[in-house]
Every structure is written in C-alpha cells, then in structure tokens.
Amino acid sequence: MRLLTADHVLPVSSPPIEDGGVLVSEGRILAVGSAADLRQDHPDVPEDRFAGSAILPGFVNCHSHLELTVLRGLLDDLDHDFASWLIRLTQLRAETLSDEDIADSALAGALEGLKAGVTCFGDIGRWGLAGFEALKSTGLRGVLFQETEFSPENATAESDLAALLEKIGTLREAETEKVKVGISPHSPYTVSPALFERLAEASREKGLKVTIHAAESDAEQELLTGRGGFFAKIFEQYGVRWTPPGKRSIEYLSSAGILDTTPLLAHCTKADENEIRLIAESGSKIAHCPKSNAKFGHGVAPLSRFLVSGIEVGLGTDSMVSNNLCDMLEEARFAALAARIASASDRFIQPSEALKLATLGGAEALGLAGETGSLEPGKAADLIAVSLREVSRLPVNDVESALVFASGAGDVEMTMVAGEVLYRDGECPGADADRLRARMNEIGSRLKEAL
Ligand SMILES: [Zn+2]
C-alpha cells in the first residue's frame, strides 16, 4: 500500500481537492480524499509527496495509430490534399517499412505517450500486432483495434472477413487484463456494405469493440452522397466496383447496421444535426481529434453539439503524421479554444470539461469507464502527477485552468498504470531510449529517400 499526495488532486468525477491524496493498493485505488485525513487513517503507509503538483487520472488517448509514429513530419507538404496524403501514406507504409520498423515505430509512440501521461490508448493498427505488443511491453492499458484492408467491393467481403478474423484470433489469444482487442472497419468508403454487415455480426458474436473513421472530410461526404470528388476519381481510375449509397457518412453507417454495435466514431468533423442525432440515438461514441482535423484543414467538429446531445466523447491525437505530438493537455487546450472560435453562440467549453474529455471521456468512449478514467475507489490506479512548479504556471488560481490552458506534456513527472510507476522524472525504466533514437533516425532517412 502507498499514499500519493499532492497540492491538488483532481478525481475528475468530482471537484478538485486541495492538498489531497490517493491511497493505492495492489494496483487499485482504495481511497481519495484530503491528505491529512488519509495520513491519519493510515499512519504506517509510506507517502510519496508531489509538492507543487497535481495528481489526476491518466490521459486516455482514444484515437491513435502508434505504428505510424516514425512517419512524423514526413508528408507535411501534402497536407492540403487529404486524399493524396492518404494514398501516399499507405504506399510508404506498405513499401518501405519492415515488420521490425513498424514494431519500433509503435514502441516509440507508446513510450512518447507514457511520458506525456497517457495511461490508456484506443489504438488502430493495420499491422495490429505492432501496437498490441507495444502496449503490452510498456505496461500501458488499451484496446488495439485491428484495421481492415482496403476492401470497398462486396465481392470480396467473405475473404476480407476471414482475413480479419484470422488476425483477431491470433491477437485474442494474447490478450491480457490491460490490453484488449477490437476491430476497425477503416471508413465508410474503404469497407463494402456486405463487409459492414458481417463485421456487425462478428462484433456481436465475439464481443469485439468497434471503431471507424467517419464523417471526417468533405471528400468523404461528396463520394458517399454521389457528388463525385477526389475519392470518386480514384475509384474510377482503379476500376473499383462501388456504388455510392447516396447518403451522408453517418446516415450510411446507420443503414449498414454498424451503428448498432455502438462504435467509437473518429472525427465526425462533418456530421450535421441529423447525423449527430443518429450517433446519440444509437449510443455510438466519438473520438474527437481537433488538432488532426485542423492540420488537414477539415474544419472544426461541432464539439459542443456532441456534448449537448449527450454523446460520450473522448480525445484522440490521431497519428503522429497528422498531429505531430502526443500531448493530451495540448489536445484538450486546442479542443476548448477551437470550439470557442467555431461557435461563440454555443456553450463555452470550460477547462473542467476539456480535462474530462482527455480522461474520463476517453474511458467512456472506449467502454472502459468502469476500470479507468477517474480517481475513484475500486478503479485501477491509472494516474499521473503533473508539475505546476514552473513560474510560468503560477499562481495557480484555478487548477483545471492551469492544467488545460498553461501546461503541456513536458510537465508530466510521473505516470502510473495499475499501480505500477512506468515513467518518472524523464525515465521509463526498462526502455532503451538510445536504441530507439537510433532506429527512428535510421528508418527516417530511409523513408526520406523513398519519397
Ligand atoms: Zn485515424
């Protein structure tokens, strides 16, 4: 048993506690309260004091692609054209990177997350095993969503399903208490209607969580509603047999039956009021990725509309190609600021709400709120300490504001998952930072040559 205390403890599910503490035993939270009370009740328990800091639940990054970390910054000159970016990225990933490269890329991403206070990832992997192993070997919690291949034609639905289920079978055998497996039909335009139907069945039968990129861009909405656009040209060019459903993205997913699986929908930047209603009514969730949306110029997702509609929303950094940082405090800050710019008439996103999005909201979005996302007795001890000692953070008039509007990943000083300290004061015990640094540089030069 150990007692962690700090100037501020933020359970997130209840108001912040000044001079608070968290009692941890066997990987779980036993009690949360004032440091003085906890000391008095448990006088023999060793105390770990984080002076001038805040203790809060670990961040839940509910939409990432850890395996793409090594592509950071590589295609930034193509960003104005999302469709060409996606095609170029897929080529580079398939042609230039070996399995070992992908594995190290995912590992680097997982360690970057740990240092930034992420304790749980909702990670999507085309090479699912890489992200899965990275989460397991670093001690993180998460759901690895195995992604489908490019498969928009009905004719291949059976073989597409068989290929996916084979990968899922292998991953499931290696599941742990902390790391689970789900499926990710990539998007409404890369998965056939027949495959969506089969995947909805498989999700129900096997209890697999589902995540889908949805309503992300104008090009996607154009293609699906039959108004042409870039994706339509590509489909034509490659002779893909695919008929536009004549519906908007979320409407289409609803009619394809996949919303019945209450999937986690990534982006939803272009969701209109009817689509938001469909998401809310189906109990589907949203991975809000404000920085990725902005970087591609996709626009500002209607965050306050999502929240007003009662949808469970978490934050995702998306991949390091499209962000380029895994910094959940920056993501929360950007979410609040972008929402305020986009719609001054809607409700202002408060720092407390932004912080909830980055923690409990993500846990809810991943269906893991019973286990993680807030500091409550009985939940796993997934928590972090963030320093507020820098003069530039002071004075701390409002701790939620100090964290969301004045802090960043570099202020995280300790990350604990299930009671185990996985990062402290710049070090992840057991991680070979020098080897990874060399590998990132080496793979990076190879990718540059391949461009
Ligand atoms: Zn994504």
User: Tell me: the pLDDT tens digits for 299-322?
Assistant: 999 999 999 999 999 999 999 999
Within 8 A by CB and 6+ apart from 62, the residues are 121, 122, 264, 287, 314, 315, 316, 362, 365, 366
Superfamily designation of domain 2-57+379-424: Urease, subunit C, domain 1 (2.30.40.10)
With respect to CATH, is domain 59-365 assigned 3.20.20.140? yes
The residues pairing with 212 across neighbouring beta strands, listed in sequence order, are 265
Between the alpha carbon of residue 422 and those of residues 54, 115, 362, 430, the distances in Å are: 18, 9, 20, 9
Ion ligand 1 contact residues with beta carbon within 5 A: 318
Distance 290 CA to ligand 1 centre (A): 12
3-state secondary structure of 413: strand
CA 213 – ligand 1 centroid, Å:
6
The band of 81, judged by pLDDT with boundaries at 50, 70 and 90, is low
Alpha-carbon gap, residue 316 to 304, rounded angstroms: 16
Sequence ranges of the chain with CATH classification 3.20.20.140: 59-365
pLDDT band at 347 (very low <50, low <70, confident <90, very high): confident
> What is the distance in A from the centroid of ligand 1 to the CA of 216?
9
- Rounded CA separation 110/133 (Å): 10
Determine the Cα–Cα distance for residues 163 and 150; give it in Å rounded to an integer: 12
Query: Tens of pLDDT along 373-407?
Result: 999 999 999 999 999 999 999 999 999 999 999 99
Task: Look at residue 237 and tell me whether its pLDDT is greater than 60.
Answer: yes
Work out the mean pLDDT of the chain and round it to a whole number: 94
| pLDDT class of 15 with cuts at 50, 70, 90 | very high
What does the pLDDT read at residue 80?
60
DSSP letter assigned to residue 358: I
Report the separation in Å between the CA atom of 318 and the middle of ligand 1, taken as the mean of its atom positions: 5
Question: Measured in angstroms, how far is the CA atom of residue 214 from the centroid of ligand 1?
Answer: 10
Query: In terms of pLDDT, which residue wins out, 89 or 147?
Result: 147
- Expressed in angstroms and rounded, the spacing between residue 116 Cα and the centre of ligand 1 is 19
Burial 227-239 (b: 16+ CB within 10 A, else e): eebbbbebbeeee
For the entire predicted model, the pTM comes to 0.96
Centre of ligand 1 to C-alpha 38, Å, is 42
| Residue extent(s) of CATH 2.30.40.10 domains in the chain | 2-57+379-424
Q: How far is the CA of 149 from the centre of ligand 1 (A)?
A: 14
Q: What DSSP string runs through 365-379?
A: HTT-TTTSSS--TTS
Distance 320 CA to ligand 1 centre (A): 10
Give residue 9 CA to ligand 1 midpoint distance, Å: 32
Q: How far is the CA of 360 from the centre of ligand 1 (A)?
A: 20
Q: How far is the CA of 322 from the centre of ligand 1 (A)?
A: 8
Q: Residue 185 burial by CB count (10 A; 0-12/13-18/19+): exposed, middle or buried?
A: buried
Ligand 1 centroid to 7 CA: how many Å? 37
Q: How far is the CA of 321 from the centre of ligand 1 (A)?
A: 10
Model pLDDT for residues 135-158, shown as the tens digit of each residue:
999 999 999 999 998 889 999 999
107 pLDDT higher than 80: yes
Average pLDDT over residues 348-369: 97
pLDDT above 60 (res 11): yes
| pLDDT band (50, 70, 90) for residue 94 | confident
User: How much distance in Å is there from the Cα of 266 to the middle of ligand 1?
Assistant: 7
